[in-house]
Amino acid sequence: MKKFICIVILFFAFSCTKDSDVEGIGEIQKTTFLGEVDWMQNFGGSEEDTARAIISTTDGGFAVLGFSNSTDGDLNGKTTAVNDYWLLKLDESGNVQWSKTYGGSKDDRGQSLVQTQDGGYALTGYAMSSDGDGTVNKGFHDNWILKLDASGNIEWEKSFGFSGHDHSYDLLETEDGGLFFVGFLDITSARADGNTEKRNSITAHGVGEFWGTKIDAKAKVEWRGYFGGTNNDRAHSVVRADDGGYVMAGFTESNDFDIANSRGSYDFWVVKVDDKGNLVWEGSFGGTGIERAQDVSKTADGGYVITGNSFSHDADVSKNNGASDIWLIKINANGKKVWDKSYGGAEFEDGQSVTLSKDGGFIIAGNSKSTNNDLNANAGENDIWLVKTDAKGTMEWQKTFGGTGLDFGFDAIETEDGSIILVGETSSDDFPNLQNKGKSDAVIIKVK
């Protein structure tokens, strides 16, 4: 989803500085963050539409990926009322420059994107279609990767999977112009298909695995690795390590095979592999309750931060505010925990993305149901929740957005002017300053 390094320093007056000399492109520039909404937009049709990931683009605008099953409104021209990947290209003010959908006659859901070295885009997610824009499907969902030109036209597409549900959630471009993408593999179906690959003893493992795949610039598989135990293990995010390897983050229900130190139930699970997919280290983090990690970002000191949610109040979890909290952990370059922080109130909170800012702090996008402790407002049901912390995870600023329906935040990045762009979805018909278009709309908010 992302992984752009920008800047925000938030304190009550919220002044920010950007040290451009770090990149050798100019003098220090000062910006001011007020914590106020600059603009917000919603997009969609009469059915269900969502925005799952946002990136800054080289022309100063943004690209947003999600999925839609609408065929009217902003999706006018889409012919089939099933989920398709949905890519929006916006200018710096949030105006749509172009909008395209990709898919076939079945369920296809876009999850993450990158802008590639040639100015185009690569998309990942999971798809069931073997018609329309898709040509092959091996059963249920497959990892579906699309390479687009700068105008959103398909240059190539390819599915990776077996007869079960195989999902991809994140990808990055590698220095050689290839791609590395992560998600999970339905091991039971892969085994039933007669898969005989020996990497990590695929035939010995259980329900689902972390699945990382490296392809070249023409979509040819160079290697892929499977990691996990006998239960459910799913990778949701990946970053490139300083040594050229990959760090994948997600969650595990297992306590055997590749998982050495299970904490209980579901844990955050972080896996480091080298540039050929060999396991370097792994770490489980959590308590006796349920923890699920959704995103990872690399920090300036070569470590990593991981966010998701936690129901625990013991072991690695130093605090619980009630029910589920957003949980943020910092680990070093060797996978050892440095600190952890919990954010939330008495109800349910969940973190979906974390981004590093140039001041060393972190921007977290997620959702909330609470009105106490770290929160002071909830419009009803789930609200989108945006949080800014300092470099040690101490909360500096937070704000909720939503109406009386279900509203979810999925991703946030920082812009060159020190603002934050947040994306998600809303099903509220009373979301302030928005006119609801359908069952759920994609929503994009700029906070300056």
Within-domain flag for 251: no
Q: Which pLDDT score, from 0 to 100, does residue 206 have?
A: 63
Q: Is residue 210 part of a domain?
A: no
> Is 427 within a domain?
yes
Give the structural domain span for 90. Answer: 1-95+351-362+376-385+403-448
| Token code pair at residue 167 | 């999902």
pLDDT for the residue 339: 98
Question: Which tokens go with 216?
Answer: 């070249």
Q: What pLDDT, on a 0 to 100 scale, did the predictor assign at position 235?
A: 97
Asked if 366 and 388 count as a contact pair (C-beta separation under 8 A), the reply is: no
Instruction: Specify if 39 maps to a domain.
Output: yes
Number of domains in the chain: 1
Looking up tokens 């000062």 gives 30
Q: Is residue 28 part of a domain?
A: yes
Ranges of the chain whose pLDDT falls below 70: 1-32, 187-206
Q: Which residues of 223-249 are buried (b: 16+ CB within 10 A; e: fewer)?
A: ebbbbbbbbbbbbbbbbbbeeebbbbb
The alpha carbon dihedral of 255, 256, 257, 258 has a sign of: positive
Residue 139 lies in a domain: no
Q: Euclidean distance between the first and final Cα of the chain, in Å? A: 21
| Residue 107 near residue 128, CB atoms below 8 Å | yes
Token output for 36: 């106020």
Determine the pLDDT at residue 358: 79
| E strand residue ranges, 289-394 | 291-298, 304-310, 325-331, 337-343, 349-356, 362-368, 383-389
209 alpha carbon, distance to own chain's centre: 18
How confident is the model at residue 25, as a pLDDT? 33
Give me the pLDDT at residue 31, please. Answer: 58
- Report pLDDT digits (tens) over 19-64: 333 333 333 344 567 899 999 999 999 999 999 999 999 999 999 9
Segment 93-146, tens digit of pLDDT? 999 999 999 999 999 999 999 999 999 999 999 999 999 999 999 888 999 999
Q: Is residue 149 part of a domain?
A: no
Is residue 138 assigned to a domain?
A: no
